[in-house]
Amino acid sequence: MTYRHTQRGTLILALSLAIVVFVMGASVVSGQWLPAIMVIIIMVPVMTLFSSLTVEVDASELRWFFGPGLWTYRLFLREIDDVAVVRNHWLNGWGIRMAPGFRLYNVSGLDAVELRVGANDVRRIGTDDPQGLAEALRSRRG
């Protein structure tokens, strides 16, 4: 049986929409439409790509992808040395981040599952179901 969970990127969507509304309002007041057009050109792909984060665990690998899945990250379960439920600091941000000591993949919230892969590779996958994801990984790793 495959574990599959999708978390909606409500925070990223709300912040992106707020930015678009603010810039559109400023453009209406100033009469300058080029900044609004540029922001929309940037924000629509950002909102699409980071609208959700889907995580899947099957018998041999962990996969995760943002939004419509234009690219997929993969890890073989045998490569994962340790699994832990963690809480990120809000300063770590959302999206795809390189933070001191780990890489973060997150669309909303602060909860994550931390994966130790080898001696110096730590990845955190944000989720609103950290216990379920951690259990799925632990049970399939043996």
For 110-128, the pLDDT digits (tens) are 999 999 998 889 999 999 9
**pLDDT in the model for residue 142:** 60
* Across 77-84, average pLDDT: 94
pLDDT above 70: percentage of residues in the chain: 98
pLDDT above 90: percentage of residues in the chain: 70
**pLDDT in the model for residue 120:** 87
End-to-end CA distance of the chain: 15
* Across 1-18, average pLDDT: 89
Whether pLDDT at 134 is above 70: yes
**pLDDT in the model for residue 11:** 82
The pTM assigned to this predicted structure is 0.85
| Position with higher pLDDT, 12 vs 114 | 114
For 90-103, the pLDDT digits (tens) are 888 888 999 888 99
